[in-house]
Amino acid sequence: MINKIGKKYSKKRDTILQVIQSTTSHPSAQWVYEKIKLWIPSISLATIYRNINLFRQHGSVVSVGVVDGAERFDGIVTPHPHFVCSRCGMVIDIPCPDMEILKAILGDHGENLQSFIVDYRKTVFYGFCTDCRDKALLLENYGLSR
């Protein structure tokens, strides 16, 4: 049986994709490995990496980028921005229609949106999530630094 990515069906491959697509945490390969190891003890980290690369090539998974030294992945492949907390490494999706982003970026040139063809974009915002911002403010109020 051949699956959507042109490969013979594999329980391991299917499980890896399901784990990535079932979370909004934007997992690393190590995180995926630790979750799947509970169900499939014989799986290797190399198998995780090999299949994630296959999914990326096929477009079933996208890379958000490297956060805290580990590449993070997203099972939602429609273009959308991300926010990365510079303190705790949390990655969250930011829902935003493409046309709004193009209009904001292009400004006065936005009148001619039909003349633009965008084949790829990646938008990532960095800063502090609410929890980390509140912790930083609390420390600052007590005269302590991070």
Specify the fold of 1-75. Arc Repressor Mutant, subunit A (1.10.10)
- Sequence-separated (6 or more) residues with CB below 8 Å from residue 132: 85, 86, 87, 88
CATH class of the domain comprising 78-146: alpha beta
Assigned token pair, 22 = 């079932």
12: three-class secondary structure by DSSP: helix
Cα distance between residue 58 and residue 140, in whole Å:
47
41: three-class secondary structure by DSSP: coil
DSSP code of residue 28 = B
How do beta strands 82-85 and 124-127 pair?
A: parallel
Domains 1-75 and 78-146 share a fold: no
Give me the residue spans of the domains in the chain.
1-75, 78-146
Please list the alpha-helical segments (H only) found in 7-44: 11-21, 29-37
Give per-residue pLDDT as tens, 12-34: 999 999 999 999 999 999 999 99
Give per-residue pLDDT as tens, 92-145: 998 876 666 666 666 665 556 566 666 667 889 999 999 998 887 777 766 665
pTM of the model: 0.76
Beta bridge partners of 85: 127
